[in-house]
Amino acid sequence: MNMDKKGVNTTCTHTGELEDIQFKGAVSPLYMSTSYAFEDVDIKRYPRYFNTPNQEALCKKLAALEHAEAALIFGSGMAAISTGLMAFLQAGDHIVLQQTLYGGTYNFAVTQFEKYGISYSFTDGWEVDDFEKEIKANTKVIYIETPSNPLLTITDLAGIGQLAKKHGIVSMIDNTFASPINQNPIDFGIDVILHSATKYMGGHSDICAGVIAASQEHMDKVFQTAICFGGSLSDYTVWLLERSIKTMGIRVNTQNDNAMKMAIYLNASEDVETVYYPGLENHPGHALAKSQMKGFGGMLSFELNSEIDASLFFKHLKLIKPSMSLAGIESTVLSPTKTSHALMSPEDRKKQGIKDSLIRFSLGIEEIEDLVGDIEQAISKVKSMAVPA
């Protein structure tokens, strides 16, 4: 066995763990101190410098999971995204962003970049050519998200990686929806990997965190910005996140299976208009997703038929929770127009294809039969309330 190349569950469990030298405990000890010695030490440790014992250890695990040389852990996904972007952009620079993005990222771009003299362009589509035609002489970053939030569009990782290198541009990806279990963009030539670790890494809807992973050269640049922005994570939450990541592979694979089964069920339902899931063969990005993902993920979106009120549907669910976030072990649904993409204007949502009727569905680890039963009973109740024409 090659001990330098471990399986993903072994990496989740053991890479970067701290040894309990004193008591020989089975899990990493927790170092809560915010103040460490500066005399006669090799490393001057301070929480904002991302180098306390628990921070340092977890970052090794995160880097290994994303096949990167280094990583940093942040207080939220947006802390990671904003820090990562500002590490590679300055006044006079230009960035190309994918058309469909998480609403928080979109809002950051349209409300903050101009303050710093940074110009930006959104693509018209998801093909490599859509990105190339937006590149200018001062373009410094290409930013993508695949699968995208909330429509699960798929972008060509290798194509974007090659395009960025051709033009000397840094490529960045929000890899949250896939997780490192399903997709490792560095293997396809993407430079900087971003995550909301609140989602699949945390996995239990009780941790807020973010991640950046990249080469050491790129992470050195990120670090210089990160220590100024101060988005570090408390060591107690770092310790909890390390605990959660140990089961990420098992959780995500179960969520993959549930999402695939649910997508097939919804796609065949007469009560559902459209299903967005890259695992379905009728998804326009299916073949590409199959070539660059190890699993199709635990996220899907769908639209009920027009006669079924989505708001009433939410109210009649008994097991699936209408809830703001995603990727927990419990299944959740939400309306992107009311939550994740509420900061976008109706016009911009329409341009991206995000309808008011769209429902984003995060599959948990429950038995699929129970989830299907909950959907069926909720739809049945809503239909029974409809007033005859």
Residues labelled as active-site residues: 48, 102, 174, 199
Contact 340, 334 (CB under 8 A): yes
Q: Are strands 139-145 and 170-174 parallel, antiparallel or unpaired?
A: parallel
The pairing of strands 139-145 and 119-122 is unpaired
Token output for 314: 């939410």
Phi, psi for 64 (deg, rounded to 5): -65, -40
- DSSP one-letter code for 107: H
Instruction: Evaluate whether 300 touches 186 at the Cβ level (below 8 Å).
Output: no
Compute the distance between CA of residue 175 and CA of residue 146 in angstroms, rounded to an integer.
7
Dihedrals phi, psi of 159, to nearest 5 degrees:
-65, -45
Q: What is the DSSP letter of 231?
A: -
Q: For residue 169, which of 138, 193, 194, 146 has the smallest C-alpha distance?
A: 138
Tokens coding 144: 């993508």
Is the distance from CB of 64 to CB of 16 less than 8 angstroms? Answer: yes
How are beta strands 272-276 and 299-304 bridged, if at all?
A: antiparallel
Distance, CA of 269 to CA of 14 (rounded, Å):
43
